[in-house]
Amino acid sequence: MQEYLSITRDYASLPVIEERRKELARSMESLMAHLLKKNTALMAAFCYDPLMDAYKELKMQVDNYPRFP
């Protein structure tokens, strides 16, 4: 983003060009924020939970434990 702004700064002498550049920068920031939220949600949904794995292992052991009448 900063690289884009520094490259286009030399060509932004006209007000119309400056406004377009600002609009494009805003849309790029909005897209980056959206992707960050989406990636964060995906990571939360698919993250590894060691406590859940331990619970499943314990439940499996208890279910397979022989019961006395």
The string of pLDDT tens digits covering residues 9-51 is 666 567 777 788 889 889 999 999 898 888 887 777 777 677 7
* Domains in the chain, number: 1
Tell me, what's the pLDDT at 26?
A: 92
Determine, yes or no, domain membership for 37.
Answer: yes
Determine, yes or no, domain membership for 69.
Answer: no
Determine, yes or no, domain membership for 13.
Answer: yes
Domain that holds residue 22: 2-64
Count the alpha carbons within 13 Å of 47 in the hemisphere toward its beta carbon. 10
Tell me, what's the pLDDT at 10?
A: 65
Determine, yes or no, domain membership for 16.
Answer: yes
Which is more confidently placed, 1 or 51? 51
| CA-angle at 26, arms to 20 and 30, nearest 5° | 145
In terms of residues, how long is the chain? 69
Q: Please answer whether residues 13 and 34 qualify as being in contact, where contact means their C-beta atoms are separated by less than 8 angstroms.
A: no
